[in-house]
Structure 1
Amino acid sequence: MWYFSWILGVGLACVFAILNAMWFEMKEDRRLSALPDPSNKPKRSSLGDPAA
């Protein structure tokens, strides 16, 4: 019967790892969505800029 507790432990460890990864991804997505979008930067005017 040792194999039952072994497979149960391995299964629970896998479930814990998957849930932990899902939690980390959710937390990372929430952090990234809270940051301002870098593509929405105001465009610089080329008036008075001889290099433009």
Structure 2
Amino acid sequence: MWYFTWVLGLGLAVGFGILNGIWHEFHLPIEDDLDAPANS
């Protein structure tokens, strides 16, 4: 029954990593997106 702990732990770790990546994408500075069109 110890493997249930591993399955739940890995699932939570992967889920947290995905949510962290999504959160990071939406909280990037806006200035980075505006630099490319302004310089061309």
TM-score range, shorter chain: 0.7 to 0.9
Paired position in structure 2 for 1:26 = 26
Q: Which has the greater radius of gyration?
A: 1
Task: Give distance in 1, aligned partners of 2:18 and 2:7.
Answer: 16
Give the letter for the 1:27 counterpart: H
Q: CA RMSD in A?
A: 1.6
Aligned length: 35
Larger helix proportion of the pair = 2
Identity %: 49
Q: TM-score, normalised by structure 1?
A: 0.58
1:5-42 deviation line (CA, Å, top 9, x unaligned): 110000000000000000000001xx12xx3x3417xx
TM-score scaled to structure 2, two decimals?
Answer: 0.73
Partner of 1:4: 4
